[in-house]
């Protein structure tokens, strides 16, 4: 992997007359973090709009174009940028829909630091803010044929509004009834390898001779639907996710015996004899790792399917012993249309209507509280509290949480 392209200030001036070469409808903000200035700009040229990030490194006097990870915001009309905790920039957009108006550009979080090491370039990562408090993703792993898919299907069938499946990419050929985009994204190896190189995958592994991987987009799509994400991945993948910043519950499903595993694979009838032998050879190492590596929070033996399913539900708090959270509402945030943004303290940001409407306090000013943020890239950021300003006192003592 090569270095991020470094541009001299003079080069940049030559290439762009105005930072990003902004037309009349362009906009940009610059935010200082230590020795670096992060310039976030958008060039709106008629029907096209490109949001870009450039970094000016004050210590070297050079401009760098970073690798940008995560899905970036949809086109919008302008933004305000507020630095939080010296590691992420809160982006409040204008002209976006309520579910797409608050974003974070991570510039020095743990995830970004890890990616910088791996990619050997400057890295920034987008993470959208979503309301609601979906629970941690669930990683389900175990040898081929143990019954992971069967158990996941049972969960999705019983709790369709609660769980969403992370659709992996694979280079293996589809089986008879498998649909592209539903069971897997079936992909060419060269395409998948390029996407891995470009940092689009949360994890990937070579499994039984094919490439499998979880794209960041797959996990984000489930988060956006307000559901709890389920990943069905092998042990190597689980290890990578464990080492990433995705905070998940890790469950290993083990077979009652190797002979039972072999029988299940044969009865399923989806693999050739050679492939079955390969999967069984790999299963031995996976079972050993699954039971001893410390990757997994829970190990469930899938002997009797119904019993194993009940135990899985118990682990996930779905057996009636704890109240089941209703589907979290992925509500957006109604920002005052023309607004100014200012920081009240390290945790609170006030967004005020530039021409306030009398008697409509909650439309005039809202306060974002970022003290309890959770998650982040790769994936979505949760835990933002949004308050309106008390219409009587019009002061911050009177703030109350929006439902
Ligand atoms: N407890 C069980 N007892 C008997 N058969 C089972 C049990 N659980 C699952 N099976 C059967 O075993 C076969 C393999 O199950 P499944 O396809 O869910 O495995 P998997 O772990 O998802 O495999 P892979 O990793 O290859 O996708 C299926 O035919 C399924 O019906
Ligand atoms: N590391 C990853 N492993 C994955 C992913 N998606 C599926 N898998 C694992 O591959 C094997 C074989 O699956 P099959 O569908 O060919 O039988 C199985 O253990 C899955 O858990 C992934 O995205 N990453």
CA distance 170 to 364: 49
- For the Cβ of 263 lying below 6 angstroms from any atom of ligand 1, the answer is no
User: Contact 137/248 with Cβ under 8 angstroms?
Assistant: yes
Strands (E), 255-338: 298-301
Least confident span in 47-51, 104-108, 125-129, 161-165: 47-51
User: For a pLDDT cut of 90, what percent of the chain falls above it?
Assistant: 61
**Residue-level pLDDT at 40:** 95
User: Is ipTM > 0.90 here?
Assistant: yes
Whether the per-residue pLDDT at 18 is higher than 50: the answer is: no
Q: What is the atom index within ligand 1 of the atom nearest the CA of 305?
A: 1
| 180: three-class secondary structure by DSSP | strand
Instruction: Indicate the pLDDT class of residue 399, thresholds 50, 70 and 90.
Output: very low
**Residue-level pLDDT at 47:** 61
The overall average pLDDT reported for the chain is 86
**Residue-level pLDDT at 321:** 64
Domains of the chain: 6-132+330-401 (no CATH), 138-315 (3.40.50.300)
CA distance 157 to 144: 22
CA distance 283 to 267: 17
Which of the two residues, 348 and 403, has the higher pLDDT score?
A: 348
Q: What is the pLDDT of residues 54-112, one digit of tens each?
A: 999 999 999 999 999 988 898 888 899 999 999 999 999 998 988 899 999 999 999 99
User: Which residues fall within 8 angstroms of residue 281, CB to CB, at 6 or more apart?
Assistant: none
Whether the per-residue pLDDT at 278 is higher than 50: the answer is: yes
Catalytic residue (one of 175, 189, 266, 281):
175
Mutate to test the pocket of ligand 1, among 145, 156, 207, 254 (most ligand atoms within 8 A of CB): 145
Q: What is the pLDDT of residues 231-265, one digit of tens each?
A: 999 999 999 999 887 889 999 999 999 999 999 99
Task: Please indicate whether residue 279 is annotated as part of the active site.
Answer: yes
Q: What is the atom index within ligand 2 of the atom nearest the CA of 270?
A: 17
Whether the per-residue pLDDT at 397 is higher than 70: the answer is: no
Distance 215 CA to ligand 2 centre (A): 13
**Residue-level pLDDT at 403:** 36
Distance 233 CA to ligand 2 centre (A): 5
What integer is the mean pLDDT of 193-209?
Answer: 93
CA distance 260 to 244: 33
**Residue-level pLDDT at 213:** 98
Distance 90 CA to ligand 2 centre (A): 35
Whether the per-residue pLDDT at 378 is higher than 80: the answer is: yes
Instruction: Indicate the pLDDT class of residue 1, thresholds 50, 70 and 90.
Output: very low
Catalytic residue (one of 88, 228, 279, 382):
279
Q: What is the atom index within ligand 2 of the atom nearest the CA of 168?
A: 23
CA distance 232 to 131: 26
User: Contact 82/70 with Cβ under 8 angstroms?
Assistant: no
Least confident span in 182-191, 266-275, 369-378: 369-378
Task: Please indicate whether residue 264 is annotated as part of the active site.
Answer: no
Ligand nearest to the CA of 175: 2
Which of the two residues, 289 and 131, has the higher pLDDT score?
A: 289
CA distance 270 to 279: 12
Instruction: Indicate the pLDDT class of residue 15, thresholds 50, 70 and 90.
Output: very low
């Amino acid at each position: 992997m090569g270095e991020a392209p470094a541009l001299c200030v003079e080069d940049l001036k030559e290439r762009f007359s105005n930072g990003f070469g902004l037309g009349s409808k362009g906009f940009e903000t610059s935010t200082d973090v230590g020795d670096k200035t992060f310039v976030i700009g958008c060039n709106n040229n008629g029907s096209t709009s490109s949001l870009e990030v450039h970094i000016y490194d004050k210590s070297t006097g050079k401009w760098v174009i970073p690798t940008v990870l995560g899905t970036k915001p949809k086109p919008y009309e302008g933004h305000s940028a507020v630095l939080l905790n010296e590691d992420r920039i809160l982006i409040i957009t204008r002209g976006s829909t309520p579910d797409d108006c608050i974003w974070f550009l991570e510039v020095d979080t743990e995830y970004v630091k890890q990616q910088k090491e791996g990619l050997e370039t400057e890295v920034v990562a987008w993470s959208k803010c979503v309301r609601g408090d979906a629970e941690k993703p669930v990683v389900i792993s175990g040898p081929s044929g143990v019954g992971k898919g069967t158990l996941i299907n049972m969960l999705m069938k019983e709790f369709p509004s609660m769980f969403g499946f992370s659709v992996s990419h694979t280079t293996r050929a589809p089986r008879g009834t498998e649909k592209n985009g539903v069971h897997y994204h079936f992909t060419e190896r060269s395409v998948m390898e390029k996407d891995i190189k470009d940092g689009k995958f949360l994890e990937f592994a070579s499994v039984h001779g094919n490439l499998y991987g979880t794209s960041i987009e797959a996990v984000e799509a489930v988060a956006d639907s307000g559901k709890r994400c389920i990943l069905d991945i092998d042990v190597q993948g689980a290890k990578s996710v464990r080492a990433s910043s995705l905070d998940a519950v890790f469950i290993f499903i083990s077979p009652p015996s190797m002979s039972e595993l072999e029988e299940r694979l044969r009865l399923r009838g989806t693999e050739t004899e050679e492939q079955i032998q390969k999967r069984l050879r790999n299963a031995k190492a996976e079972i050993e790792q699954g039971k001893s590596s410390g990757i997994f929070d829970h190990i469930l033996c899938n002997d009797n399917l119904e019993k194993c399913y009940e135990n899985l539900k118990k682990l996930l708090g779905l057996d009636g012993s704890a109240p089941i959270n209703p589907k979290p509402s992925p509500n957006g945030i109604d920002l005052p249309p023309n607004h100014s943004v200012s920081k009240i303290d390290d945790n609170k940001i006030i967004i005020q209507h530039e021409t306030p409407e009398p008697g409509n306090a909650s439309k005039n000013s809202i306060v974002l509280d970022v003290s309890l943020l959770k998650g982040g890239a790769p994936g979505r950021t949760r835990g933002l509290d949004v308050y309106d300003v008390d219409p009587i006192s019009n002061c911050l003592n009177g703030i109350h949480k929006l439902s």
